[in-house]
Amino acid sequence: MHIVLLQSRLTDEEVTELIDEFPQFLFLSTSELTFKQLGKEEWERVEIIYGNRLSTENLQKAPQLRWIHSPVPNLNPLCLDQLEKRGSVIVTVTREENAYQIGEYVMCGMLAFAKNLFHWMEADQSPSLLWDSKWRESMWTLKGKKFIQIGLGKVGTEIARRAQQLEMKVWGVQEKRSFHRHCHQVFSMDDLHDVLPSGDVICLALPRPQQKGTLLGKREIKMMKDGSILIMIGSKSLVDEQALSDEKDTDKFRGILIDAFYQVPISPSSKLWKLPNTIITPEVAPRPKSEDKEAYRLFRYNLRQYVHGNFTDMRNAIGTKKTMIT
């Protein structure tokens, strides 16, 4: 009997459902410790992995491996280059989950900067001057402000939807120019330099597979409007840390919000920690995690297609060059 290796936790009820529907497989749940202790005999029977961790060494131990489903968008722990060389392993992935929560988080940060909430926290230092505070005269209304959403995947779409509800002028930026129901205009990445100078709020929320390389460097940061708000959801590498830290104009940004990937933490020695008007959080935007478990439902659906040989019907497949499924 071939093994379905469950690296990521499922509830007892979910495992029971899988066992009942797919009795031809042995479902083996592993913790981090037991995963490392898997023996040669078990690895030789592994056909499917529900998880996102596989080293080159482990792949060599698993000649029967045919499919990996990652319950999270982060595929970095998988030996993708080696999987591509083997050419016979399907890789599917759960796209960004908890978009609703991320949308709330972005709106929360934007509104806090727009309404000077972080400055009002300092009122206890000079309560007698509160009514004459300069922050009373610099409040924003978001209606009519230009919101630039870079990345229009599931998360970016939810953010754009919420910005539209606030009656902001929403401009979207993605790989190719196209229509988007929550954007007044959509531009391609090639148009980024033309778009940036107009943004009152710039939000980066690219799908994880697109978060490669630096998107905002020294030149792009200089282009951005003085007093704008910068929000970044995801990899810190999308912004040139040094260029952002070297920005001489302390009033360049009304506020900066960075929710950095847990897997790629910002170094304690980074100059980003000392930037004025900046909030840095450790990938908390998607929390609390949704009870609606998209990863399990997608895995179970794909498993049905897999056992019937309907490989082209499996959803969210990235495959390899030899086994590409769209």
Where residue 291 falls among pLDDT bands split at 50, 70, 90? low
Average pLDDT over residues 185-200: 97
Q: Among residues of the chain, what percentage have pLDDT more than 90?
A: 63
Q: Higher pLDDT residue, 173 or 72? A: 173
Average pLDDT over residues 41-66: 94
Query: What is the reported pLDDT for 326?
Result: 30
Does 319 score more than 60 pLDDT? no
The answer to whether 2-94+294-313 and 99-281 have equal CATH topology is yes
d(CA 258, CA 265) in angstroms, rounded, equals 11
Where residue 128 falls among pLDDT bands split at 50, 70, 90? confident
Assigned CATH topology for domain 2-94+294-313? Rossmann fold (3.40.50)
And the tokens for 292?
């609606």
pLDDT tens digit string along 257-282? 999 887 677 888 888 898 989 999 99
Phi, psi dihedral angles at 236 (to 5 degrees):
-65, -20
Query: What is the reported pLDDT for 292?
Result: 55
Domains of the chain, by residue range, sit at 2-94+294-313, 99-281
Average pLDDT over residues 28-51: 87
The alpha carbon dihedral of 185, 98, 287, 274 has a sign of negative
Single out the residue of 277, 307, 258, 268 nearest to residue 2, CA to CA: 307
Element (H, E) at 259: strand 253-260
Query: What is the reported pLDDT for 96?
Result: 66
Least confident stretch, 98-102, 115-119, 175-179, 234-238: 234-238
pLDDT tens digit string along 211-248? 778 899 999 999 999 999 999 998 888 899 888 888 76
Query: Helix, strand or coil for residue 281?
Result: strand
Least confident stretch, 30-39, 115-124, 315-324: 315-324
- Name the most confidently modeled range: 15-24, 37-46, 124-133: 15-24
Least confident stretch, 33-37, 82-86, 146-150, 231-235: 33-37
Average pLDDT over residues 55-80: 91
Does 320 score more than 50 pLDDT? no
Where residue 307 falls among pLDDT bands split at 50, 70, 90? very high
**What is the rounded average pLDDT for all residues in the chain?**
89
Does 1 score more than 80 pLDDT? yes
The alpha carbon dihedral of 39, 42, 45, 51 has a sign of negative
Q: Which residues contact 213 (CB under 8 A, 6 or more apart)?
A: 237, 238
CATH number of 99-281: 3.40.50.720
Where do runs of H (alpha helix) occur along the chain?
A: 12-21, 32-36, 40-43, 56-61, 80-86, 99-114, 117-120, 154-165, 192-195, 218-223, 241-245, 294-307
Q: Higher pLDDT residue, 94 or 298? A: 298
Query: What is the reported pLDDT for 196?
Result: 97
d(CA 211, CA 196) in angstroms, rounded, equals 18
Query: What is the reported pLDDT for 210?
Result: 74
Does 322 score more than 80 pLDDT? no
Least confident stretch, 25-34, 136-145, 245-254: 245-254
